[in-house]
Structure 1
Amino acid sequence: MAKHFTAQEIIGVNPITAMPFTTSGEIDERSFARLLEHLSTSGAQGTTLFGIASEFPKLHDMERDRLAQMFVSTLAGSPLYRAMSVTDHSTELAVKRARYYEKLGVDALMLLPPFFLSPSPQAIQEHIFAVLEAVDIPVMVQYAPGETGLAITPEQLAAVAERYPHAVFKIECNPPVDYTREFLAKAPQASVLNGYAGLYMLQMLAAGGKGVMPGCSFTEVYVRIYRHWKNGEQQQAEALHQKLLPYIQRWMTHCEYIIQVEKTILARRGIIATDYCRRPGWQLTAEDQQLIERFLSDFPL
C-alpha cells in the first residue's frame, strides 16, 4: 500500500527536477527517466517537478501532463516523496490541477501563488486557501518575492499555517532567515523548507527550518551537508557549505543562469544527454565553463 506523507515528513533535501531537452528543444524522455532514477538513489528525501528550475513556464500543457504521469510512475516504489508544483494563475484552474495531481498519486504539492497583473492580497490568500481546501496531501506554499514581485507578511503566512495543518512553507525571500524566525515565532508548529540554491541552508536549519530545495545537479553535496547537520557534525557541515558557497552565490545572481549551469553539470555527469534550455535562456561564457570544471574537480560526484 502506498505511504501517505504528512506535512511533518516533508523534510530534508528536496531538489527541483530539471527538465531535459534535446538539442532541438523537444522533451528528452529518456534523459528525464534517467535523471529521476539518479535522484532516487542520491540520498535525497524527495523531489519536486514543475518548480522554476523545471522551466515550467516553457512547457506545453500536453507535455506537462505526460511528464506528470512519467514522474509518478518512474518514482513509484522509490524512497523519495514526490511533489508537483501547481503554478496556474487562475484559482479555478489551480484547484483542478491540484486535484488532478493528487489523483495521479503525488505525495505532496507545491503552490506558486498568482502574481501576474498584481492580484490583491485578499485574492492571493483566497487562491492559497482554495488549493489547500481542495486536497488532503501536504501543500508547500511557495514564497518567492524576488521571482514573483509578491510580498506576503509573516502574519499572513502564519494565518495559513494555523488554518491548514497540511500546509508546508517554502520560504525563499532574500535573505530568508529573519523572516523565517518571525514566521515560526507566530506559527511554531509550521514546517519550513528553503530554496534559493541552499545559500542559507545551515542558517535556515538553525532557525527551525526542516530542509532545503535546491536544483538537482549536485544533490549529493546537499545530502552530505544535511547528514552532517543531522548528526550534530556542525563543523563538517559548515566547512562543506562554505566550500560550496562561492559557486552558488555567483550562479544564483539570476534564475536562468543557475538553471543553465545545473543543466550543464547534469550533462557533464552523463545524467542527461544535452544541456539545452528552452529560449529565452542564459548563454554561458568560457569563464563559466571553466568554473564548472573547477566545481566538478572540487566536488567529485
Structure 2
Amino acid sequence: MSSVAAIKGVNPIAAVPFRADGELDETSFSNMLGHLAGTGIDGLTLFGIASEFPKLSDDERERLAARFISDLAGSGVFRAMSVTDHSTELAVKRARRYQQMGADALMLLPPFFLKPSPQAVASHINQVLEAVTIPVMVQYAPGETGLPIPPEELAQVAQRYPHAVFKIECNPPVEYTREFLQQAPGAHVLNGYAGLYMLQMLAAGGKGVMPGCSFSEVYVQIYRAWREGRIAQAEALHQRLLPWITRWMSHCEYIIQVEKTILQRRGVIASDYCRHPGWALSPEDHRDIDTFLAMFL
C-alpha cells in the first residue's frame, strides 16, 4: 500500500495540453510527463484545478488517467489523481477506479456546487476515504469553491483516517495550518496556491508544495535548499519568484494560461491553448514571460 510519508517535497499539478483547435493533445501530454519526471519532482497530480478538470469529457479523463499511470510507471514519481465529482456515489466509484488503475494516491475536492450542508460534505469526504486504502489528499480551497471548513472539522478527519493527507490552500494558509496541526499534530499537510507561502508552510509543519508544473525546477531548488538547511538560499530564490507568482495567482485562469504558455515556450507542449472560458494574455504578459524565462530557466 502507498505510504502517506511518501507524499512530500514538490508535487506539481499536471497541465492538460490541447491542440490549437481545442482537442486533447495526448502526444504533448506524454512529452510533458517525460519532461517533468526529469526535473527532480517528488510527485505529480492529475485533474487538479490547474489541469482544467471541469473542461474535460469523461472519455478524455479516462484516456489521460491511463496514460498518466503508464507513462510514469517506474519513474520514481509519486502518481496522484484527483476525484472531483460532486456526487458522492460517483466520487466513490472514481476513487476505487483510480486505485485499481494503479494510482499511488488520490486528491479529493469536496463538493461545493449549490452549497451542500457541512454534514453532506463531511459524509462525502468520509465515504471516499472509506472506499480506498491508498492516501487521499483532502483539498481545502475555499477561495475557489466558496466552501469554508473549520480546522477542527479537518482535524476530526485526520484523527479518524490515518491515510488522509491535507492540501490546505486558503489565502493565507499559515495560521489555519498551525491551528489545524495543534488539533491534529500527526496530520500530513501540503500547500498549493502556486507556492506563495511555500517556506512559511514548511516552517509551520507542512511536508511539501503543490504548484503548477511549468517551472517545477525552481520549486525543486527552493525545497532542496530548505531541506538541506540552506535557508538563506531558499529564501532568496523564493523572494525572486514571489513577485511573479503573486501577480499570476491573482486569478486561477490567469496562472493556468501563463503556465501553459511557459510550457509551450520551453518546447514541452506544442500549443498553449486553454479551453474556453479562459484568460487572454496581454502583450505585456508575453514580455513578462520572456523576462521570467531568462531569469529562471
The TM-score bracket by the shorter chain reads over 0.9
Q: Distance in 2 between matches of 1:32 and 1:137?
A: 25
Letter in 2 for 1:127: H
Map 1:15-94 → 2, pairs under 5 A: 15-94=12-91
Q: Distance in 1 between matches of 2:75 and 2:131?
A: 26
TM-superposed deviation, 1:39: 1.0
Q: Does 1:137 align with 2:134?
A: yes
- Corresponding residue SS for 1:141: strand
- Corresponding residue SS for 2:189: strand
CA contact (8 A) 1:12 1:226 kept: yes
TM-superposed deviation, 1:7: 1.1
The equivalent position to 1:180 in structure 2, one of 177, 180, 191, is 177
Q: Distance in 1 between matches of 2:3 and 2:102?
A: 14
TM-score (norm 2): 1.00
CA deviations 1:169-214 (Å, max 9, x no partner) are 0000000000000000000100000000000000000000000000
The equivalent position to 1:203 in structure 2, one of 190, 200, 205, is 200
Map 1:263-282 → 2, pairs under 5 A: 263-282=260-279
CA deviations 1:33-82 (Å, max 9, x no partner) are 00001111110000000000000000000000011000000001111010
Match of residue 153 from structure 2: 156
CA contact (8 A) 1:5 1:81 kept: no
Letter in 2 for 1:130: Q
TM-superposed deviation, 1:215: 0.1
Q: Distance in 2 between matches of 1:170 and 1:249?
A: 19
CA contact (8 A) 1:95 1:130 kept: yes
TM-superposed deviation, 1:9: 1.4
Q: Distance in 2 between matches of 1:5 and 1:247?
A: 35
CA deviations 1:99-154 (Å, max 9, x no partner) are 00000000000000000000000000000000000000000000000000000001
TM-superposed deviation, 1:5: 2.4
Letter in 2 for 1:209: G
Q: Distance in 2 between matches of 1:56 and 1:123?
A: 23
Percent identity between the two aligned chains: 72
Letter in 1 for 2:93: K
Q: Does 1:104 align with 2:101?
A: yes
Match of residue 215 from structure 2: 218
Q: Does 1:128 align with 2:128?
A: no
Q: Does 1:12 align with 2:19?
A: no
TM-superposed deviation, 1:293: 0.6
Q: Does 1:249 align with 2:246?
A: yes
CA contact (8 A) 1:228 1:234 kept: yes
Structure 1 runs (4+) deviating above 3 angstroms are none
Q: Does 1:230 align with 2:227?
A: yes
Structure 2, unaligned runs of 5 or more: none
- Corresponding residue SS for 1:76: coil
Match of residue 292 from structure 1: 289
TM-superposed deviation, 1:262: 0.1
Q: Distance in 2 between matches of 1:139 and 1:5?
A: 10
TM-score (norm 1): 0.98
Q: Work out the number of aligned pairs and report it.
A: 297
